[in-house]
Amino acid sequence: MQKTILHTLRIPIIQAPMAGGVSTPRLAATVSNAGGLGFLAGGYKTAEEMRKEIIAVREMTSAPFGVNVFVPGAQSSDEKALSSYQKELRKEAERLGVPLGDCQWDDDDWEAKLVVLYNEKIPVVSFTFGCPSADIIARLKANGSFVIVTVTSTEEAIIAAQAGAEALCVQGEEAGAHRAVFRNAKDADQHIGLFTLLQQIRTIVDLPLIGAGGIMTGRDLAAVLAAGACAAQLGTAFLRCSESGAHPVHKAALVDPQFSETVVTRAFTGRPARGLVNRFLAKYDAMAPAAYPQVHHMTKSLRKAAAEQNDPHTMALWAGRGYRLAKEMPAAELLSLLMEEAREAVREAMGRVDKL
Ligand SMILES: Cc1cc2nc3c(=O)[nH]c(=O)nc-3n(C[C@H](O)[C@H](O)[C@H](O)COP(=O)(O)O)c2cc1C
């Protein structure tokens, strides 16, 4: 396998792109400056907002960084289920004193974002929720970008490899927030754990793999590298960092004993995503239709009002399975700690292997 930009990172840690204001330019630049790979999240922003964040990162670092974009899906949905969900959510909107958002489909400014990616010549570009066409990937590569596609199954890994992806971000079921799933019957996610999925994909695709999902400690990092990944992508572990833009109510919920479980739900956005179980999730999980991004747009005003009103029970508290291990510290310190723990874990494991 050829050496890639991922193999040249001083620290084999990728800070996950986290849409919704979490992965700020400061967080991405801090991680890249420290020797990892920082990422901006292009999702939910306009192309122009995404461009401004790219400029902001470039003002803070000359090291490589990444930009992540959502691939738009099909425009189909069950209108009847959507309108009955809308009716239910109106009660929440009344309670919070805000209008319910419009139930619209959009492509998240896809074409305009591609133009920004081409013009700005981004070192690393990653995609989630789908696999772009071979033409788009070829154009980005010819433009000097290293292209990653996020996958959740062997089927998706094959599609991404055939389209020309240069690396795969392998997202295990442990992962926080949205599942990247794009090719499973009726959007029924297979929920495969990271270590199983890495082994399954390694045997069929000869591409560098990035492991994502539930990686919180240096021991996890060492394990994922030993499992064949060339780097680990961590989201939840960065949520409580000083540079993270996660809402303070979200940060607090991660250590609040009243939130003791995560599940994958469509309740907030119409797309499967892992979050802490709160009142809203428990109440609407079974009711929410598979309609992304319509449900996302519908609940946006509710989630925003809830955050302003300090109400964690109506917010989307995205979190991976390992959320309890998220530490409150500057991102550069977290990277050093993870590396120190990983080295110690490897030393210990080598001691055991030598005895075999
Ligand atoms: C708050 C949050 C927002 C996320 N937003 C995105 C995103 O915009 N794009 C993306 O590819 N992945 C996104 N992810 C998923 C991460 O890329 C990654 O798969 C996940 O964080 C790994 O699991 P972990 O959270 O247990 O580390 C997000 C994760 C979190 C926690």
Q: Kind and range of the H or E element at 111?
A: helix 110-120
- For position 204, what pLDDT does the model report? 97
Question: Hey, which of 31, 49, 128 would you mutate to test ligand 1's pocket, going by the most ligand atoms within 8 Å of its Cβ?
Answer: 128
188, pLDDT greater than 60? no
Residue nearest to atom 6 of ligand 1 (CA): 18
Confidence bin at 186 (pLDDT 50/70/90): low
Q: pLDDT tens-digit profile of 93-133?
A: 999 999 999 999 999 999 999 999 999 999 999 999 999 99
- CA-CA distance, 90 to 96, in Å (whole number)? 10
Report if pTM > 0.85: yes
**Would you say residue 277 has pLDDT above 90?**
yes
Residues present in the chain in total: 356
| Coil/strand/helix, residue 70 | strand
Give percent above pLDDT 90 in the chain.
93
Q: Specify the ligand 1 atom closest to the Cα of 212.
A: 22
Considering only CA atoms, which of 307, 296, 302 is closest in space to residue 98? 302
Q: Is 41 in the pocket of ligand 1 (CB under 6 A)?
A: yes
SS3 content of the chain, % helix, strand, coil (to 5): 45, 15, 45
pLDDT at 189: 63
Structural domains in the chain, CATH included, are 5-72+107-246+327-354 (3.20.20.70), 75-105+255-318 (no CATH)
Give the per-residue pLDDT at 161: 98
pLDDT band at 187 (very low <50, low <70, confident <90, very high): low
- For a ligand 1 pocket test, name from 13, 15, 18 the mutation site with the most ligand atoms within 8 angstroms of its C-beta: 18
Question: Percent of the chain, pLDDT > 70?
Answer: 98
In the reported structure, the alpha carbon of residue 320 is separated from the centroid of ligand 1 by a whole-number distance in angstroms of 8
SS3 readout for 297-332: HHHHHHHHHHHHCCCCCCCCCECCCCHHHCCCCCHH
3-state secondary structure of 97: coil
CA atoms in the 13 A half-sphere facing the CB of 145: 27
